[in-house]
Chains A and B, each alone.
Chain A
Amino acid sequence: MKKYMGNKLAILLFVLPALAIFITFDFVPIIQVFAYSFTDWNGLTTPNFTGLKNYIDLFTDRVFATSNRNQIIFAIVITVYQMLFATIFAITISDKKMKGRKFLRVAYFIPVILSVTVVCQLWSAILSGEGLLNKIFEVAGSDFKQNWLGDRYKAIYVIAFVNAWQWMGYQFALIVAGIKSIPSDYYEAARIDGCSNVKAHMKITIPLLAETYKFCLIISLTGGIKAFTEMNILTGGGPNKSTFTLTYMMYNAAFKKSDYGYGLAAASVMVLECMLVMLVINFIFRDKDQKKEEEKARRKRNA
C-alpha cells in the first residue's frame, strides 16, 4: 500500500502541471517583487540597490501603523461574520425539512456573483450621508445618523462589513458542499443516540469539516490582510489615508508617486504577514495523525 500511494511517477505527473504554471506566472514574479523591494525603482528605469532603506522608511511611515491596524480589524470582522453566518445558513438549508431551501441557497450566493464594483456602488448609496440607512434612522426618529464611511476610526468596520457581506456566500457554498459529502448515516446514528439537531451538527458537521473551516479561516484572515478594492471604491482610502491597508500603500506608492520600490516593500511585508497567519493556522489545526507522529517521535526520543 505504501508503495502504491508512493508511486513516484504518478506523483510527478500529478504535481507537475500545477507547479509549472504556478512557478512561472506567480512565484517568479513574487521573487522579483521581493528583489525590487530593496531598490529605488520607479517601474521604468534601471533599479538601484538601496538596501533596507524602503523598509526603514516603511516602518516609520505614519500610515504603516494605521494600515496594519485596519488589516487586523478587517480580518477579524470578516472572519467572525462569514464563518458564523455561513455555518448557520449552511446547516439550515441542509435540513431537508426547510421550505424553499433551493431558493435560499441561490439567494445567499448572489452577492458573490456580482462584481465588487456593483456591490460597492450599492453600499455607498445605502451608507452615504443622505443614504438609505440614515434615512431609516431619521424616519424612526433615532439620532443614530452617522457619517458611515467618512469616520476616521469607524469607517474600516463598515467597509469590512461590506466585504464580509459579499463573500459570506462563498464560504456558505463550501460548507454546504462539505455537509453534502458527510454520509447521512452519521446523522442517523446521532439521532438514534438522542442528539438534538443542533447538537448533532456541533458533534459531527463541524469536526468533520475541520479542513474546510481551516481553509475558510485562512481565506478570511488573509483576505482581510490584503484588502484593497472595497476601500478604493468606497472611501478612496480616506479620510486622509485612515482606511489604508498595505496593499493600498503599495498602490499609492507605485502608481501615484511612481515609487515602485517602496510600494513593493509594502507588498512584501503584506505577503510575509499572510504567510505567518497561514503557518500559525496550520500549526493550530495540525492533523491528528501528524500530532500522533509527533507524539511517537517524542516518545522515541525519550526512550
Chain B
Amino acid sequence: MKKKILSSLMCMTLAASSLIGCGNAASTETPAQTDTPAAETTTEETKAEDTKTADTASDTASGDKVTLSIYTQYADDDTKVPYDYAVEQLKEAYPNVELNLIVQAQDDGQTLKTLAATGQLPDIYQASTDIINTFRESNQIMVLNDVAKSTGFLDKLYDANKDLAYAEDGNIYAFPFSGQEYVLWYYNKALFKDNGLEVPQTYDDLLKCIETFKAKDITPLALFGQEGWNTAAAYDVIATRYAAGGIKALDEGSAKVSDEGYVKAAKKLEELVAAGLFQNDATTTNYDQASEKFLSGQAAMFINGQWYIEDATKALGDDVDWMFYPAEDAASYEAGKSAFSGGGSASGFAVNPDSANAALAAEVAEFITEKYCEAKVMYRHNPLVAIDTGKEPDSEYPAMMKKLSDTLPSITSTTKFTWGLTNSTFNDAIQSESQGLVSGQFTADEFVQDIEDTMD
C-alpha cells in the first residue's frame, strides 16, 4: 500500500518523460502549419537551412518549399478576411512559400517584445509605431527602403499616405496597409428623430440632447472607456475644437497641456461627463459592450474610427450616420469641420532582419500588404487603405463612407490615434488621464497638473 504511491509517482514521471520526449521531434525552427510527423518536419528544417545559404529571393524560386512565420491578428472579419485572401493569392504568386500563422495576442506588445528579446522574432510581424521605434534601436526590424522601391510599393502608395511609410529617421521599416483613418462621431438618426432632436452643433445643443435621452433612459453616448484610446479620442474630439493640433501637438511637444485651449477642452469634457454624456460605468466598459449598446439602440451616439462604418451599416442600415464634432458655438462648429481627430500611423508589416529568408520575407511582406489593401477595399468596403489598389468593392460603398469621401478633400488637419503617438510617456499619460476625466472622479485641474508633471 505504502509503496503504491511511490511507484505510481515513478510511473507517472517515466510516462511523462517518455511522452514529453516526443516533443523533441516536433521541435523545429521553421515549424510547419499543421502538426506534421517528425520526419517530415526535420527535412523541412534542413531545406530552410539550404535557403539560408542561398539567401536571395530569386534562388528560392527553384522549387524549395519555404515556411515563413507571420505574427498578425486573425479573429474577426476585419482581420480574417484580408489574411485569408492574402494567403490564397500568395499560393499563386509564390507557390513555394507557406505561411505559419502566429495569432497576435491582445497584450500591449508583451509577446512580440519578449520574442524579440529572446531572438525568436517571427519572419514577418505586424508592427505598431511603438514597436517600430523600439525595435529599430536594437536593429530587429529590417530597413525596407530598397524593397519598397523595387516592388513598386512606393509608386502605388497614395501621396497623402507617404508619411505613413517612413519612420522618424526617414527609413521605411514597415509596409502600411491602413491609410489615413478618422475618429467619427456616430449617431442613431432614428433615436434623434423620435425624440425630436436635431444633430447637435454646439455643446449647448449637446447638453439638451443629453437631458432628453437621459429622461428616456437612453445612454447619450456609449464609450468603451476601458480602452484608453477611446477616452483619449473623446478628449481629442473636444480639444481639436479649441486647438486644431489636438493630442498630436501635445505628443510632438509643439503645444502644452496647460495652454488655454487644452485646459478649456478638459473643463468641457468634465462638464459633459457631469451632465451624463457617457454611461455611468464607462471606464469599465469594453468595446463589444459599448458597441452592442449602440447597435441595439440603447445608446444614441458612439465614438469610433471610420472602420466601424461597415459594422454599423450592417446593423442599423439607414438609421446610422456620423456628424461633425460639436463645438463651442456655431462659428467654431463651421470652422472646425475641416479639423478631424485621428490620422494615419506608421505601422504595418515588418520583417525580421535576422530571418533565414529575410530577403524573401521582405518581398512576401510587401505582397501581403498589397493584398490586405485589396481585400479591405473589395470585401470590407473601406477605400481608406494605404495604396492605390485599382480594385472596386464587391458592392456599393455605404452612405457614411460616401459622405466621408466627399468630406476628405476639405479636411485640413488631423491628429493621431493613440497608437500613432511617438512619445510613449505622453501616450500612457493621455490614455489614463482622459480615462480619469471620463470617470467623473478626476477634475480637469488634476488632468492638466498630472500630465504636466509627467511630461517634465
Contact = CB atoms under 8 A, between A and B. Distances in A.
B138 A252 contact: no
Interface of B: 107-110, 113-114, 116-117, 130, 134-135, 137-138, 140, 225-228, 279-285, 289, 424-425, 427-428, 432-433, 435-436, 438-439, 441-442, 450, 453
A256 B424 contact: yes
B112 to A, nearest CB: 9
Given A62-B453, A128-B285, A252-B428, A239 B134 contact: no
A16 to B, nearest CB: 16
B226 A236 contact: yes
A44 B354 CA distance: 14
Chain B interface mostly helix, strand, loop or mixed? helix
A257 B428 contact: yes
Interface string A222-237: 0000000000001111
A43 interface: yes
Contact of B116 (A44, A124, A237): A44
Interface stretch (A149-157, A171-179, A190-198): A149-157
Contact of B283 (A238, A252, A255): A238
B113 A150 contact: no
A124 B113 contact: no
A235 B453 contact: no
Interface in A38-55: 42-45
Nearest to A152: B441
Contacts of B140: 44
A129 B432 contact: no
A135 interface: no
Chain A interface mostly helix, strand, loop or mixed? loop
A43 B108 CA distance: 14
Interface of A: 42-45, 62, 124, 128-129, 147-152, 234-242, 251-252, 254-259
Given A44-B116, A151-B441, A239-B438, A128 B428 contact: no
A219 B289 CA distance: 35
A239 B432 CA distance: 7
B139 to A, nearest CB: 9
A255 B226 contact: no
28 contacts: A42-B137, A43-B116, A44-B116, A44-B134, A45-B138, A124-B284, A129-B281, A149-B281, A149-B284, A150-B282, A150-B439, A236-B226, A238-B226, A238-B284, A238-B432, A238-B435, A238-B436, A238-B439, A239-B441, A240-B442, A242-B436, A252-B428, A254-B110, A255-B110, A257-B427, A257-B428, A258-B424, A259-B424
B281 A258 contact: no
B439 A256 contact: no
Contacts of B113: 43-44, 254-255, 258
A128 B285 CA distance: 8
A255 B441 contact: no
B220 to A, nearest CB: 14
Given A235-B283, A255-B110, A42 B134 contact: yes
Nearest to B113: A43
Q: Most chain-B CB neighbours within 10 Å: which of A238, A241, A257, A259?
A: A238
B297 to A, nearest CB: 15
